[in-house]
Amino acid sequence: MEFSYEVKDSYAEVKAEGRLNMVSAPKLREFVTGVIANGSNRIVVNLENTAFMDSSGLGALIGCLKAARQAGGDLRIAAVQPQVKMVLQLTSMDKVLTAYGSAEEAFSND
């Protein structure tokens, strides 16, 4: 899985491309922790090119959400694909990790 990020006006967009599984989950956690340490506490994880997520990947997203909130901000997810949406719904975590249609929409009403 490949990660990249870009600081926008009111948030930092993290792009995750590939499979978010037990191998890449700790790397996502480390990457987002670094983004927060660089001064961004409003994070959007763009999952447009994340075709797969398992419970390890979900756990990493929850860990990143907690880290963003501890830094006084928030973490939101965007452009969720069908398999990721299914895992969020089956674990009832779609209520905790709200999915937005695009990265731009995630913090647009704040």
Partner 1 sequence: MTEVLASRSFRGLAAGDAIESVHNDLDSLWLDVPFVQDMDQMTFTTAVIESASNIVQHAEPAGQEPVELGVDIEVRPTLLQARVSAYHAKPPFGPMEPARPGEEAESGRGLALIQALVTTVTFERQDGTNTWVLSRTSQQD
Distance CA 74, CA 83 (A): 24
2 binds partner 1 (CB under 8 A): no
Tokens at 34, concatenated: 């670094």
Binding mask 34-73 for partner 1 (x = CB under 8 A): ------------------x-xxx-xxx-xx--x-------
Q: What are the CA-CA distances from residue 87 to residues 54, 58, 92, 97 (Å)?
A: 7, 8, 8, 12
For residues 54 and 87, the answer to whether their CB atoms sit within 8 Å is yes
90 binds partner 1 (CB under 8 A): yes
96 binds partner 1 (CB under 8 A): yes
For residues 86 and 57, the answer to whether their CB atoms sit within 8 Å is no
Interface residue with partner 1, options 9, 39, 72, 82 (CB under 8 A): 82
21 binds partner 1 (CB under 8 A): yes
Residues in contact with partner 1 by CB under 8 A are 19, 21-23, 52, 54-56, 58-60, 62-63, 66, 82-83, 86-87, 90-91, 93, 95-96
